[in-house]
Structure 1
Amino acid sequence: MWQTDSIWFEIAVVSAIYAVGNILFDQFEERTPKWRRLGKYILTLLIVMVLSTYFGRTVAMSVLGSFIIPFLYVHGYYLPQKKGINGWTGEPKGKYYDFRKWDKTIFEKDI
């Protein structure tokens, strides 16, 4: 009944990673357009599916796992050391919004 020898396994793994990521880190993408977030998911899914089809599951999962390297670099070194932003909380929010080139008018209070 439970077989993992189809492309659906890769689809499930990528989907689970994105589901958990969106649940835990959604607050850092609050101003990113929905189409861009969906496009990122679909592109990752297509890359993993093509790699798995042509080069095997080991290569596909290795490439997927290697995506953590830039994540750790950006959040562990670049943001805190170069930009003065906490890589895990995105604070201070003003600097984070500047870094993402988002409009900061949401910080202004209506009087």
Structure 2
Amino acid sequence: MWNTKTLWFEIAVVMSIFAFGSILFGHFEDHKPKWQRVLKVILVSAIFVALAATVGRIWAFGFLSLPLLGAVVAHLWWLPKHGINGWTAEPKDKYYTLIKAKK
């Protein structure tokens, strides 16, 4: 009945990550236009599926883990270095200034 050896499994994994990410961390992306957030989902999904289809699932999941590594570095080192709480992104004005976002 269940078969995880299809590209649909990869799509389900990526979409699940985006769903949970939007629910838990979406408020940090409020400053970005909706079209950018939608484009991000489409591009990441397309790249992930293309990698899984061509070079294999392990490489695709390796690609997916790169943003996780970047997030760890940003939240544990880069944000605190600039006086911003890495967990809550407070103070918000410093956070928005740092990422050059429009409120």
* TM-score (normalised: structure 2): 0.93
1:93-108 mapped onto 2 (5 Å cutoff): 93-104=92-103
1:10-60 CA-partner distances (Å, limit 9, x unpaired): 100000001100000111111110111111111111111111011111111
AA matched with 2:95: Y
AA matched with 1:5: K
AA matched with 1:85: I
Percent identity between the two aligned chains = 47
In structure 2, runs of 5+ residues without a counterpart are none
Highest CA radius of gyration, 1 or 2?
A: 1
- Take 2:77 and 2:56, find their aligned partners in 1: how far apart are those partners? 33
* TM-score (normalised: structure 1): 0.86
CA RMSD of aligned residues (A): 1.2
Cα gap change, 1:31 to 1:51, in 2 (>3 Å): same
- Residue aligning to 1:68: 68
1:49-88 mapped onto 2 (5 Å cutoff): 49-81=49-81, 83-88=82-87
- Take 1:36 and 1:66, find their aligned partners in 2: how far apart are those partners? 20
Local SS of the residue matching 1:71:
helix
In structure 1, runs of 5+ residues without a counterpart are 105-111
Q: How many residues align?
A: 103
